[in-house]
Copies of this chain bind each other. A is one copy, B any other.
Amino acid sequence: MSSDSYTPPKVWTWEKDKAGGRFASINRPIAGPTHDKDLPVGKHPLQLYSLATPNGVKVTVMLEELLAAGHAGAEYDAWLINIGEGDQFGSGFVAINPNSKIPALLDMSSEPPQRVFESGSILLYLAEKFGAFLPTDPAMRTEALSWLFWQMGSAPYLGGGFGHFYAYAPEKWQYPIDRFTMEAKRQLDVLDRHLADHDWMAGDYSIADMAIWAWYGQLVLGRLYEAAEFLDVTSYTHLMAWAEKIDGRRAVQRGRMVNKANGDPAGQLRERHDAADFDTRTQDKIGEGQE
């Protein structure tokens, strides 16, 4: 922040070294593709193009839950989109998601193939396609969808607000950190109060839980931004218990590994094309290196 006496120009213009922090190279004020590149297509009906960020993990958890529940039609190929290298700006990816964000899904079982973008939209699409992980009772379905939309509208304050200014911005500035910390803690408290007298967000375990867990569950489990102590996450006891319960599910553990390209190599499955990939991963993939 150059100074407290900044005066914005009449018309903002792009200077490429501005406003970046850790992700400077991938933020642009314009949309559209930067280069021609087709996407690979594998053998399964569902083609996922993603990365194991919280938004990506929502979808891989859902797919693994569907498979664990016996929905064989949910078999999928998961392709790695390296956002640090600009894969999301390739023409093939932009054709599936004009917003150039992961995750994006292509359902090859439709003619023509159906594109689905935005993690919340993908979760709802899969829940409706397979009739699973979304309450069938209309009242409870509405409640689950309210929480799903809540997650979509709230997490930008956690990720693009708190996470950015607490962990990724080039310097620590008190005002934005305070602003977004206050909101992140409020959101954690919203969840904690709800989970104080509900086992799951709405009815049984659903896409609302998966979406919220990927962000807020993983946050209280200490996996995002190294902010567990700063946010005093252990004080949200009901949320923590729910987060741990979900974290113990085998499908969740598998979903977390898919399209993971950093951290412990034992937890990475950079691409996923078959259920057996989880078993053979250590011998096949561990030598590939990582960024």
Q: Which A residues contact B (CB, under 8 angstroms)? A: 1-2, 4, 6-12, 14, 18-19, 21, 27-32, 98-99, 110, 114-121, 124-125, 139, 142-143, 145-146, 148-150, 152-157, 160-161, 164-166, 169-179, 181-183, 185-187, 189-190, 192-194, 229-232
Contacts and interface: CB of A to CB of B under 8 A. Distances in A.
A197 to B, nearest CB: 11
A114 B140 CA distance: 9
25 contacts: A4-B171, A8-B166, A8-B174, A10-B229, A11-B232, A12-B178, A14-B182, A19-B178, A19-B179, A19-B182, A27-B183, A29-B185, A29-B186, A29-B189, A31-B190, A110-B139, A115-B143, A115-B146, A121-B148, A121-B149, A152-B152, A153-B153, A156-B161, A169-B175, A170-B175
Given A31-B186, A189-B31, A176 B177 contact: no
A239 to B, nearest CB: 11
A194 B97 CA distance: 11
Given A152-B153, A153-B152, A175-B169, A186 B30 contact: yes
Contact of A230 (B2, B12, B29, B194): B12
Contacts of A230: 8-12
Contacts of A149: 118-121, 124, 149, 152
A113 to B, nearest CB: 10
Q: What copy number does this chain have within its complex?
A: 2
Which 8 pairs of residues, A with B, have the shortest CB-CB distance? Answer: A19-B178, A156-B156, A118-B149, A29-B185, A31-B189, A121-B149, A19-B179, A31-B190
Contacts of A152: 120, 149, 152-153
A1 B175 CA distance: 5
A156 B160 contact: yes
B8 A177 contact: yes
A121 B142 contact: yes
Given A186-B31, A230-B12, A231-B12, A194 B120 contact: no
B116 A29 contact: no
A55 B44 CA distance: 39
A121 B145 contact: yes
Contacts of A139: 110, 114
A131 to B, nearest CB: 14
Nearest to A160: B157
A124 B193 CA distance: 26
Given A118-B150, A153-B156, A32 B193 contact: yes
A99 B150 contact: yes
